[in-house]
Amino acid sequence: MKSSSASPVPDRFRDFREKRSTILCLLLVLVTLAFYSPVVHNGFTNFDDNGYVTENPHLREGFTWSMLKWAFTSRDDANWHPLTWFSHALDYRLFKLNPVGTHYVNLLFHAANVVLLFLLLEIATGSTWPSLMVAAWFALHPINVESVAWAAERKNVLSMFFFLLTLHAYRRYVRKSSAGKASIGRYALVAVLFALGLMAKPEIITLPFVLLLWDYWPLQRMGQRSSDGRWTSDVEPRSFTFLVLEKVPLLLLSAGSAVITMIAQKGGHAIRAASNWVRFGNALVAYVRYLGKLFWPTRLAVLYPHLGRFLPPWQIIASAAILLALTVLALRSRRRYLVVGWFWFLGTLVPVIGLVQVGVQAMADRYAYLSFIGIFICLAWGVADAAGERKISPVWLAVPAVVILTTLGMLTRRQIGYWYDGETLWKHALSVTDDNYTAHDGLAQVLAKEGRVDDAIAQYRAAEALGAYHSSEMVSIAIFELAHGRVQDAIEQLQKAVDAADDNASRANALGCLGSAFMQADDIARARISYGAALEQNPDNPIALVGAGLLAERDGDNASAVAQISRAMKVEPTDVGYLLLAQALGRAGEVAEAGNAQVQAERISHDISQARRSAAQILDTDGIPND
């Protein structure tokens, strides 16, 4: 392919190219905004949007020192990405919790990425139409809807923005270096932009390796001679050793980001245990599944569940054979863009392909946002080369290109509709995937919030049948059942939670809740046993302490009641707990202390009237008069 600086370009042609590029950039933006316009009708979902946006109290602080400190030190949601937190905080300052603003900012970042990608390729290669096709495919391929329409995936479009800016800065650094104007400042700009991208999402840690591919093509820093022995590029050739050493500062940034990410993911319990063979087999199959989604982008889902078991050997062998064959073809083709595009695809997926299993997904659409660019490059330049060899006019390529892009655009509009709200999202996921525990659980949470109790419990049961719930999650389901009068179902659920608990704290929590369920069932004897067993597992379990205190108050032992509930409030102070403590203190004749407990309840409560109603209901259930 031609290099953009292979020969002097007359001013009139340069002006024409610049005007054409400007027009094409505007066209790309307009097309992207047009096909993605339905996203403004979507709301937030209950899949990470709550932790990132709707229920994140730090965003409401504004850009205070406290918020900045939290952003740089937080490992919430099992990630370290302070720039992403700043972005969401700015959204909240501008739009509060209006999803239209958040979604449109995501869309604007996507449109900016489309333009940056087009300009990057056009400037680096000197080829306008293949660059335009890559950018258009990137803009409209429906697999990228997840990265744009999902509010919590701001990190993906934001990190890509800085990834592409880094490539632009690197190209400029290389050109200036070849002209004898090497500058630490230009290299520092590359490093700073890369660091900002890592602070948005660490998935781009493979960028130093992408830069090595970029050195090979289109920058051709590794050198390529024509038939007469001359260099085909005016960029100064460098040895492979030099090019690797040049990337060392960037590799150190990648290594640091990887370490921080692993710490955050371990702290957030996001890393899942799986044997090496299971992870390796899933990775091979996932690569081929991604290729399938690229050419046939249907049945796209917010989550493709990882089965956690060894896949059928024929799938693994067939996937390995396909990947090996495509790798050999790329290497033997002698077309540098095929090598770069193919290894871009393979390499950028390495951090997220599941060799270290993070989360419950076998693969994810959002991981294709960066990696598919490599395949788009292979296709666009491959078609251009084939057309050139067969002397096919570009006009004949325009019609199928428009048809393909229009089809992708319509699929994208349809995919955006599945992100309308949580219920629509999870129902679609269940319709296109099997054994999807997360989708059943997510749908159950939506239905529970809407008060559709029977439907919610049916989805909880479907999720539980897949054997994926932990003890704490079983307890949450039981609490929901108790709140809606399904006492016996809650008792059965809590007994399962006790058996499933793998540590004393979890077992104590389940036993404490079981005691409360028995109280609601008016089974005082079994409630007493459950509370006692909970305190044996964890003497500071607040649920069991309050429950045991109320039983003591019921028996007339007010001193023990005060002692137990006071201890619970030291462990976990709540407004309802302090109201119950005030009741016990009043019965014990400690009027002043009872008043202090009332004041504490009012001080920490967000809704003291609701807290009083809850305390009265608990006392009534436990058979204690409310004085």
Q: What end-to-end distance do the CA atoms of the chain give, in Å?
A: 87
Task: Tell me the CB-side half-sphere exposure of residue 397, using CA atoms within 13 A.
Answer: 19
Q: How far apart are CA 511 and CA 504, in angstroms?
A: 10
pLDDT of residue 361: 92
**Identity (one letter) of the amino acid at 207?**
L
Sign for the CA dihedral angle at 389, 393, 394, 399 comes to negative
Please provide the size of the chain in residues: 627
Low-confidence ranges of the chain (pLDDT < 70): 1-13, 178-182, 224-234, 468, 627
Q: Please, which residues have CB within 8 angstroms of residue 57's CB and are 6 or more apart in sequence?
A: none
Q: Token pair for residue 475? A: 């307890």
Domain boundaries defined on the chain: 11-417, 542-627
- The torsion angle over the Cα atoms of residues 543, 52, 357 and 321, rounded to 10 degrees, is 150
Q: How far apart are CA 494 and CA 514, in angstroms?
A: 6
pLDDT of residue 229: 47
CB of 47 closer than 8 Å to CB of 77: no
Phi/psi for 584 (5° steps) reads -65, -40
3-state helix, strand, coil in the chain (%, to 5): 75, 0, 25
- Chosen CATH of 542-627 out of 1.10.1240, 3.30.420, 1.10.510, 1.25.40: 1.25.40
pLDDT digits (tens, 9 = 90+) for 185-203: 999 999 999 999 999 999 9
Q: H or E stretch including 620?
A: helix 608-621
Q: How far apart are CA 18 and CA 7, in angstroms?
A: 17
Q: Token pair for residue 539? A: 């003497």
- Structural Rg of the chain based on CA atoms: 30
DSSP string, 201-269: -GGGGGHHHHHHHHHHTTS-TT--B-TTS-BSSSSPP--HHHHHHHTHHHHHHHHHHHHHHHHHHHHTT
Q: How far apart are CA 185 and CA 176, in angstroms?
A: 11
- The torsion angle over the Cα atoms of residues 543, 548, 551 and 552, rounded to 10 degrees, is -140
